[in-house]
């Protein structure tokens, strides 16, 4: 049901030549169905397989020519750290003071890390896992949906369909395609073995990047396969909203919507001021700073045909930073004494 609705939604968006048609169309149709009570489900093995395909595609951005742009990356990392810190403080403050959420839940819901990672860690520290997951899912939906529209209207950027961009690039065939398949499989299990945050996309990205940097592969994954990956990823976002009672969850959804809009507005303002100083296009830095998912932001970067390697790297840094530092900072703040009563096994 999820894939069927996603494919229909992607087809409709593609027919009307909307930006990121396959992902946004699938996400929109599946979300509407989920909120209407349709039996849509999130099939994690299929999603992870398609995310691994996307990670392999992102590795193609790491070409030898990328060495000419490395001077922007060090300063970009510093800016990312500073911005994520400010954005997190504002978001958590909003959820605590305005949203009246308990501090444990607000902290891990307002920290723009990975949905799965923040939900698991937040529950361990006494937060409400359903609330944390809902805030993160809503944030990803809002950012992924609004960001392309903002860039197309406010910034007057022509955002072609991702399939059109990828169709103009050489595709891997024969031996190269076999190497990329190996990169996806090896990278996926490498990410799981090393327990990397977002390992299902980061592992294939790293392995395929080595293949491209060393010249083993030049072509990218087939455009049709990437379109299928977009449908699966978009459908997975929408399926996260299944089972929600809109009357009961209206307030949390509204808080999550406001939090996402605040984050997105901060990213836009920050990118507008800082991008000229770094010598980067405003939309490139905005994509690097926006609190969307790594996979989704990378797809938008592909559609815009901007510096995908830089944007993907900045989001990897964001996720690694937050997943590593968020629990440490939480313990330093001693907020866990408010509701946390020990390890998960000690609570009923």
Q: What is the 3-state secondary structure (H, E, C) of 246-306?
A: HHHHHHHHHHHHHHHHHHHHHHHHHHHHHHHHHCCCHHHHHHHHCCCCHHHHHHHHHHHCC
Mean pLDDT of 124-147: 87
Residue-wise pLDDT for 40-55, tens only, equals 887 778 888 888 888 8
Mean pLDDT of 305-319: 82
Mean pLDDT of 173-188: 90
Asked whether the predicted pLDDT for residue 186 surpasses 90, the reply is yes
Tokens 């395929």 belong to residue: 208
Burial of 153 (0-12, 13-18, 19+ CB in 10 A): exposed
Asked whether the predicted pLDDT for residue 347 surpasses 50, the reply is no
What pLDDT was estimated at residue 111?
Answer: 92
Mean pLDDT over all residues of the chain?
82
CB of 123 closer than 8 Å to CB of 109: no
What pLDDT was estimated at residue 195?
Answer: 80
Tokens 């996260």 belong to residue: 240
What pLDDT was estimated at residue 343?
Answer: 38
Nearest to 318 by CA among 293, 284, 285: 293
Asked whether the predicted pLDDT for residue 340 surpasses 70, the reply is no
Q: Is 146 left (phi over 0), alpha (psi -120 to 50) or beta?
A: alpha
What pLDDT was estimated at residue 348?
Answer: 35
Q: Quick count: other Cβ atoms within 10 Å of Cβ 144?
A: 24
pLDDT tier, 190 (very low <50, low <70, confident <90, very high otherwise):
very high
What pLDDT was estimated at residue 42?
Answer: 73
What pLDDT was estimated at residue 55?
Answer: 83
Mean pLDDT of 161-178: 66
Tokens 């992870």 belong to residue: 48
């Amino acid at each position: 049901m999820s894939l069927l609705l996603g494919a229909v939604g992607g087809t409709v968006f593609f027919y009307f030549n909307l930006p990121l048609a396959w992902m946004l169309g699938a996400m929109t149709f599946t979300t509407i169905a989920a909120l209407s009570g349709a039996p849509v489900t999130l099939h994690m093995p299929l999603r992870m397989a398609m995310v691994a395909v996307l990670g392999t595609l992102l590795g193609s951005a790491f070409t030898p020519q990328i060495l000419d742009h490395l001077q922007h990356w060090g300063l970009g990392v510093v800016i990312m750290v500073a911005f994520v810190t400010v954005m997190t403080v504002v978001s958590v403050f909003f959820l605590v003071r305005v949203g009246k959420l308990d501090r444990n839940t607000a902290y891990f819901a307002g920290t723009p890390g990975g949905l799965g990672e923040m939900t698991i860690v937040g529950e361990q520290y006494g937060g409400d896992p359903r609330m944390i997951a809902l805030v993160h899912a809503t944030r990803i939906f809002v950012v992924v949906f609004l960001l392309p529209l903002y860039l197309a209207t406010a910034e007057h950027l022509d955002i072609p369909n991702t399939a059109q961009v990828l169709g103009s690039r050489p595709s891997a065939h024969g031996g190269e395609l076999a190497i990329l398949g190996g990169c996806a499989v090896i990278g996926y299990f490498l990410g799981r073995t090393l327990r990397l945050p977002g390992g299902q996309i980061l592992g294939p990205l790293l392995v395929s990047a080595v293949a491209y940097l060393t010249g083993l592969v030049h072509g990218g994954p087939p455009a049709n396969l990437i379109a299928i990956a977009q449908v699966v990823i978009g459908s997975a976002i929408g399926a996260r909203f299944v089972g929600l009672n809109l009357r009961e969850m209206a307030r949390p959804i509204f808080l999550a919507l406001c939090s996402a809009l605040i984050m997105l507005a901060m990213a836009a303002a920050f990118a507008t001021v800082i991008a000229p100083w770094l010598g980067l296009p405003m939309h490139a830095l905005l994509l690097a700073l926006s609190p969307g998912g790594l996979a989704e932001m990378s797809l938008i970067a592909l559609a815009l045909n901007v510096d995908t390697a830089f944007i993907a790297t900045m989001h990897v840094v964001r996720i690694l930073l937050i997943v590593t530092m968020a629990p440490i900072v939480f313990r330093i703040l001693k907020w866990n004494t408010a509701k946390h009563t020990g390890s998960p096994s000690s609570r009923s």
